[in-house]
Amino acid sequence: MGRLVCVSNRISLPRKSAAPGGLAVGILSALKRTGGVWFGWGGDTTEQDPPTEPDIHIRDGVTYATIELRQSEYELYYNGYSNDLLWPLFHYFLRGMRYSNEERDAYESVNRSFAQKLSPLLQPQDLIWVHDYHLIPLGRLLREAGVKRPLGFFLHIPFPNIEMLRVLPTYAELLRDLTHYDVIGFQTENDLKGFHSGIEHLFGAEAIRSDGRIRVGDRVLRAEVFPIGVDVDSMQAEAIAAMETDVVKRMIDSLMSRSLMIGVDRLDYSKGLVERFSAYQQFLETYPDNIGRITYIQIAPLSRTDVRAYADIRKALEQAAGRTNGRFADTDWTPIRYLNRNFPHGTLSGFLRAANVGVVTPLRDGMNLVAKEFVAAQDIDNPGVLILSTLAGAARELGSALLVNPYDTRAVSHAMQTALSMPLAERRERHMAMLEVVKRNDISSWTNRFVEALEASQRDQSRPRVLAS
């Protein structure tokens, strides 16, 4: 195969002191195999016209090409259209959505800038893989720039049904933009069905062929499910090593032999943190024997602080934690430790391994890798229990978790009690079933399957077009 060129909204140059996590693990392993390119915004903005050429760095055989964005456009494109419109819409939160033509124009303009600065870097045999909702129009704009190479797009967040998507004034343009890619990847079958509903609405049911491929005009594209995973071996090794570090030992010592319940979520209204805090308070009310015997640590690093909705959620969580602590705390015990800060990935893996219960209860999530990391980090001889939202993509794979509706605080509080009282044999059985799935659908499997689909689309292009279904 030729080079793999990955494109994402934001990239960071690797640092020796920080191991890559999440998406970076899979992308970097694939890029290193092909000597590929990772292209995206480097984090700098300017009040002037940005440089016309990317800043190039080569590390371990991977080329990092970063661009600058104009500050005014960044605000409208990222904080505005991407996160005040597409993010809430795709997560089914209409109350948090607002549409602006000015923001839509900035979204198009930034994507055009990506296309203009990426095109000169491309080589004849490249495979191009675009990531996430910030860059949906990029495929069309690359085609307009003359790029004929296979283009892939992976959506990390949910894709809504057409009845939700039609709320967007430009929904038809969004769907047409997606059809310029050769391979479109989704986290779950539900997301794929949502996309199919949009294709049927716009192009007719006959656009979806019997083999699952989609024909629009003279183009045939693949739309498939590629559930993203984690690096299981690395996560297990990190978690074991972290248990010997001072910070994890101090955390464990501070529990004073109490059980540990943990949540690790970016501070976002889609993560269901307010509902989770309410469920924990109801758990203490309903099962008072746990008072003074359990500590709930919620790690929620700040995100998108310029978006008003995120300031609101932070205030609501601080008030909820204060109410619970004010009601139940004692001189030597705090029910909730709520931390608005980040920790190194290795430290977090140690926290997850030490936990008796992991709580992952988003109101809607494309996948949620914390759920999979919790499973990977556990001690197989004495594993903790995962409480998982049925509205997270991970619930399609981790059926042996305690599955809950995050809006049902009574059910979540009952699951907390069930998790804490679960016998060891059942904990082991549930954990082993989930670990097998997490290993089978790990991060390497995800990247390999998507790249193979891109390569297959390249072979499809070289065959004569067959227009019959």
Helix (H) or strand (E) holding 395: none
C-alpha closest to that of 142 among 182, 180, 173:
180
Q: How far is CA 119 from CA 111, 143, 146, 147, 462, in A?
A: 12, 10, 9, 7, 22
Residue 71: CB atoms within 10 Å: 14
- Rounded Cα distance between 260 and 300, Å, is 16
Q: Which two tokens stand for residue 380?
A: 């197989």
* Beta bridge partners of residue 403, listed in sequence order: 388
Q: Which residue is it, tokens 């931390």?
A: 339
All residues at 6 or more sequence positions from 31 whose CB lies less than 8 Å from its CB, including other chains: 4, 6, 37, 38, 61, 62
**Contact predicate 221/214, CB 8 Å:** yes
365 is catalytic: yes
> What is the three-state SS of 105-143?
HHHHHHHHHHHHHHHHHCCCCCEEEEECHHHCCHHHHHH
- Rounded Cα distance between 11 and 5, Å, is 13
Interior angle at CA 189, CA 409 and CA 77, nearest 5: 80
**Contact predicate 153/81, CB 8 Å:** no
From the candidates 156, 196, 345, 431, give the one annotated as an active-site residue.
156
- Rounded Cα distance between 317 and 339, Å, is 11
CA 453 from centroid of its chain's CA atoms? 21
- Rounded to the nearest 10 degrees, the angle between the axes of helix 232-242 and helix 369-377 is 60
156 is catalytic: yes
- Rounded Cα distance between 395 and 368, Å, is 9
- Rounded Cα distance between 201 and 205, Å, is 8
From the candidates 177, 365, 414, 431, give the one annotated as an active-site residue.
365
Q: Which two tokens stand for residue 261?
A: 């319940």
Catalytically active residues, by annotation = 156, 365
